[in-house]
Amino acid sequence: MDPLVQIRRELHQIPELGFQEFKTQKYLLEKIAQLPQQYLEVVTWKTGIVVKITGSNPTKTIGWRTDIDGLPIIEETDLPFASIHEENMHACGHDCHMTIALALVQAFAIKQPSQNVIVYFQPAEEGPGGAEPMLQWLKSERADLIPDEIYALHIAPEYPVGTVATRPGLLFADTSELFIDLKGLGGHAAYPHKTRDMTVAAANLILQLQTIISRNINPLDSAVITIGKMTSGTVQNIIAENARLEGTIRTLNAEAMNDVKRRIEAICSGIEASFECSISIDYGSMYYEVNNNERCANALLSFAEEFEGCNAYLCSESMTGEDFGYFLKEIPGALFWAGANCEYGLHHAKLTPDENLLSINANFVEQFIRSL
């Protein structure tokens, strides 16, 4: 079996949620410890890892970032190497991302790069967000581990293996989590007039939230509000005293994000008055847009055009969220989509990326970094 495939499958079995990646960190550290250490410096931060590879004749430092956490999804792939953590799954391809990052560390440990290279194994990308606090730690404690430019990839199931898809400028959206809690008055189903039913209130709120995009956002802008989860009530004959909505907001600019939140708050105030209840709003984790540096994005595309086995593709922006945007806010760099050739999309319980992407992208990224 291809060693990269084996690593990916072993990582796939142990998905862990943000800042709980203890087995994952241990696995990665063990793999790194097996490599020649002559050029390596290994530092840990929370459940993350930073590996610096000293270059032979450095004029700058190149960063590569991978995310390491999984999702709270029950896997439905029926693979022999499916998750052994039954409630969690690598349904966003972070197992593939980590494998490629490990391959980079191995390649540079064996054959020293000319530039300094730093590989970041970042926790908690899916939540509550690890990039921003990791960057703050670097700035305050280890400024020597901040690169001059930084790159990353994310698998894309819709593209064929070998695709390197990116664009200068905005690639991924501003995103914010959304949690809304409603509290009314519960009671017996036979006496609804003595209660304040939060199932009905929440249902009305969901419908009104969907008017924000169609009636309050400029049609030339792009924005999304998705309520992915609603919980209310306890049993069939008790009117619900509490309800909770969980969702996400995505916009392509900060002004639209502010407009969406302003309307959410206004609508919630109206629901409070209409249903005689109280509502609290929590925006949870907020991720900054992924805005690629023009020079760095064009360098990726140009290199992919000439690289055997890869196809460069100038893609459109996406409503996807990624906390790598915090790195790009501070450091020039770029992220690209790596084709994964799968019928199921990201965050799907049946996501099965084509493992041929591992060697192709590991080789592509290594040679790209060596060329800088």
Quote the CA–CA distance of 217 and 80 in Å, as a whole number.
Answer: 47
274 by DSSP, 3-state: which?
helix
Quote the CA–CA distance of 123 and 21 in Å, as a whole number.
Answer: 7
Long-range CB contact pairs, 270-274, < 8 A, 24+: 270/208, 271/182, 271/201, 271/204, 271/205, 271/208, 274/201, 274/204
**What are the phi and psi torsion angles at 317 (to 5°)?**
-65, 160
Question: Tokens at residue 182, please?
Answer: 């409603």
**284 backbone φψ class: left, alpha, beta (φ>0; ψ -120 to 50):** left
Q: 141, 11, 155, 27: which is closest to 70 by C-alpha?
A: 11
- Report the catalytic residues: 67, 126
Contacts of 176 (CB under 8 A, 6+ apart): 248, 249, 250, 257, 261, 283, 284, 285, 286, 287
Question: Tokens at residue 195, please?
Answer: 């209660």
Quote the CA–CA distance of 283 and 146 in Å, as a whole number.
Answer: 29
